[in-house]
Every structure is written in structure tokens, then in C-alpha cells.
Amino acid sequence: MSVSSFTLKSGLAQMLKGGVIMDVVNASQARVAERAGAVAVMALERVPADIRAAGGVARMAAPRKIKEIQRVVSIPVMAKARIGHFAEAQVLEALKVDFIDESEVLTPADEEFHIDKTRFAVPFVCGAVDLGQALRRIHEGAAMIRTKGEAGTGNVVEAVRHIRAIQSEFLLLKKMSAKQLSAAAEEMGVPLNSVKSVRETGRLPVVNFAAGGIATPADASLVMQLGVEGVFVGSGIFKSSHPLKTAHAIVEATHYFDRPERVMKASEHMEEPMRGLEMGSLPIRLAKRGF
Amino acid sequence: MEKKRVGVLSLQGSFAEHMRSVFRSGGIPVRVTDSVSLDCADALIIPGGESTTLRYLLTQEGLKHSLEHRVRKGMPVYGTCAGAIVLAKSIAGEKSFMPLMNISVERNAYGAQLDSFEKDLSVKGFPKPVHAVFIRAPRIHAGVGVEVLAHAGKDVVLAREKNMLVSTFHPELTADLRIHQLFMRLMD
């Protein structure tokens, strides 16, 4: 399979900006997501909250599940592969998914290497908790970054921490001398050029969404105001009391994130959000996976 | 000469890239999110994005009505990819949304993201080809009164009818400003 150009890969991410990508586990959830205005769906076996509850090894979704979802929606279908599991990614590419998420929500398959994403024609999105991770993933070929947050918790605190971490590193880079800059590049394990260009532009070279813990319209507005370009909502939709209403409300709030009266209206339209978890109560922190 | 105020529908998709192209083409980009901001613009670009999302949001915002009204009264409008779907008279297998332009479209006609492609096009009136980026593109069929400006293979990829321009590719993703300039000439 020929490797498609980075313009095509990152271009699809550009088209998703300002949108909400929703986790779905079957065709009927995918339909709900599309109807509510999702820009894409993420096909997986279980939503993160259930992965957390079930324990065990979390893997790529069954191809039959993904096909079932591809059949019913016209928006892009994404799917998750385990960190480093390039064979799962090859299967997803063979399935012609539109985007692969190399995700810490699944159990990592390689503790030393992430997938070499330049070898694939399908674009990848990867998680990051800081600038170094983001730039390493981009260097490996990721066409989109999402801050990790802490998936399956309905608690936005980690998402906020990761967005702020990346932004404060942008500011630090700005103040660095040439020597400090090359030291920073070395420490991050990325080419000096990519650090230089980030310093110049004050942003990542690819689209950056937030993920992990977004459960309400106000959560979506918060992360958008902090500067991300869209949101992933995992458990937040289908673990709420009325998924369609929640999905609509989060889509509204993401598009009109800077208009409090619209976020208020969106909040009024939803019922109970998912039950959240305090960080201190978690036996496993997914965001610590990957490097 | 007074600068042209070109609105860019900024609900979802590649609106920032379109605003940049408008600015670089010497226009004033206007961020359009509702009927009030639409009033500040003399033309409108409907960007690439997800057409289901765009249609949903246009309906929510009540923008659909005022937009349709303005285009019927002659305001220049340019739909890229998802934007072309929004303006089409008919959409295969679905209800049309804002049946303004005499084209019919098939969504995701080329398949999944893996079937996205880039191609050099010769465009009517342009001495040099345009490098075009197609992402999960629709296919359009031009009806009576529609002038076809470019093909990719057999497919129509750039077309104009009166004050309406559509492309199934994304000029906002490249540094080439000629398509935006072509659109801005419709404002003269």
C-alpha cells in the first residue's frame, strides 16, 4: 500500500476541527453520535469507563464490530490500536478505517516503541501529556494529537493539566537561547528543527484535540477556551442518563464554547452526566502509559 | 479600492485555513457564526468539514434561512467539499439541504480516507495547473446552467453557477491563492 502524503493525513484532521469525536461500541450508538452532530466516531469494544471496571487486557475492537459501525455512518470512523501494536494497526488499515488512535486506553503492547506511523497510509492520532510526547509522536508520523487526560473518569482535571503543560512549554521555548533550545530538543528526543518551528509558531504543527474526562458541556467549553481545537468524548456520552441529549449538548458547547449563554442552554438540554471518579481513587492511571 | 469583506462560515471544519487564504488574497476575513455576523460579510465561504455536522449546526443556529435568502439575492458563495454538499440541489440517498445550485452530489464518493488523493488540475482560464487536495471528497454532477471549470479524470471538481462556486477539493490547505482569488472576483 502506498504511503499517502502528510497533507492528506493532517488534512483530514483539519476538517474535524471545532468538532466532537465520540466513542461508540455498536451501530446504534454510532447512529446516535452522527445524529447529534459528531464529526467522527471512535469504534471500540468497550468505553473507557467499562475498560476500567472490567480490568484485564484491552485490545483493538473486533473487525466485525468495526465493519458494523462503518456500515451505518457516513462520518469518518476511527479505531484504537494498542501502543506499539503495529499488527493491530495493519488490520485496522486493511479495514479501511479513516483514522487510527494509538491509544493508552488499551493495554500497551510495546514498552519501548510506539508504532512507526510513517509506514502507514492511514492517519494516526496519538495521546500526549506534554510537549515532548506530542513532538515524539509527530516525529513518528502522527497527523493529530490529543491531550490524554484520564479516560473513563468523567473528571476533566487531567485533561486540563495536560493542555496547560503543553502550553507552558511553548512559553518556555520562547525564552530559550539557541543552546538551551538544542538541549531541550535532545531531552525531548526530537530533531532541533521541530522544536524550532514550535517556538516560532507557538503551536503544534498538527491539529490538537482534548480527551479524557470530558463529561459536560461546560467541560467541553473549558478545554476549548484553553486552546484545543476540538474534543474527544469517550464514556461521557454513553454513560450519561440520556446519551442523545448529552451528545447534542456537548456538540453545541464545543462549537459555541466562547458564548456562555449557548453553553448554558446546552447544559439545560441535558440530563444526568456520567458519574465521575476522583483521581486519588484510581488503581490504574492510563495517562502514564506511553512515553 | 476598498477591501472585500469575505465571510467564512466558522462553525466547524477548515475555517481558519480559509480565513488565512482570504487574508493573503487581500480580503478581510469575517468570522460568520450567526445571522448577525453574516450581515457583516459581502460573500461567504462554506468550508470543508463534516457535512452532517455543518447541516446540523446551520439548522440549530437559524443561519440556514438567512443564508439561503442572501444567496438567492445574489451574494457570492463558495462551498468547498462539505460546503458543496450543503449547496447542492440534490444529495444521493439523502434529502437536499439548501437546494441552491444545480448540482447533484454523492457523499464520500471515492471511499474512505485511504482513497483520499492529490492531483494537479488544469483549471479553465488558469495558465498553470492547480495542485488539488481531495479528502473524503464528494463527487458532483453538473446540471443545466452550471459552468464546469475543472475536472479530475472524468469527474467535475470545480464548477460555477451565477454567484455560486463549488469545489470538491481544498484550496485552503495549500498556499496557492488562485481559487480564492477566482471566488473574490465574483464579488466585483
- B35 and B66 in contact (C-beta within 8 Å)? yes
Chain A: closest CA distance from residue B133 (Å): 7
A96 belongs to the catalytic site: no
d(CA B70, CA B75): 6
Mean pLDDT of chain A: 94
- Tell me how many residue pairs between chain A and chain B have CB atoms under 8 A apart: 104
Residues from B in contact with A at Cβ < 8 Å: 10-17, 33, 48-50, 52-53, 56-57, 60, 81-82, 107-108, 111-114, 116-118, 133, 135-136, 170, 173-174
Q: Mark yes or no for CB contact A15/B53 under 8 Å.
A: no
Condensed to tens digits (0 to 9), the pLDDT of residues B93-133 reads: 999 999 999 999 999 999 999 999 999 999 999 999 999 99
Residue B57 reports pLDDT greater than 90? no
Residue A3 reports pLDDT greater than 60? no
Residue A269 reports pLDDT greater than 90? no
Section A44-57 average pLDDT: 88
Which chain B residue has the Cα nearest residue A37?
A: B53
* Domain extent listing, chain B: 5-185
Residue A261 reports pLDDT greater than 90? yes
In this prediction the pTM is 0.94
- In this prediction, residue A1 carries a pLDDT of 37
Residue B138 to residues A53, A72, A76, B168, Cα–Cα distance (Å): 41, 18, 13, 6
d(CA A258, CA A138): 29
Domain spanning B5-185: which CATH class is it, in words? alpha beta
In sequence order, the β-bridge partners of residue B8 are B31, B45
Nearest CB partner across the interface for B133, out of A11, A18, A36:
A11
Q: Mark yes or no for CB contact A98/B136 under 8 Å.
A: yes
Cell of A27: 451501530
Q: How confident is the model at residue A281 (pLDDT cuts 50, 70, 90)?
A: confident
- In this prediction, residue B1 carries a pLDDT of 66
- A246 and A271 in contact (C-beta within 8 Å)? yes
**What Rg, from alpha-carbon coordinates, does chain B have?**
15
Residue B60 reports pLDDT greater than 80? no
- In this prediction, residue A2 carries a pLDDT of 46
**Could you tell me which of B171, B163, B76, B88 has the C-alpha nearest to residue B123?**
B171
Helix (H, G, I), strand (E, B) or coil at A280: helix
d(CA A203, CA B84): 30
Residue to mutate among A15, A35, A101, with most B CBs inside 10 A, is A15
Mean pLDDT of chain B: 95
Residue to mutate among B51, B56, B118, with most A CBs inside 10 A, is B56
Q: Mark yes or no for CB contact B117/A96 under 8 Å.
A: no
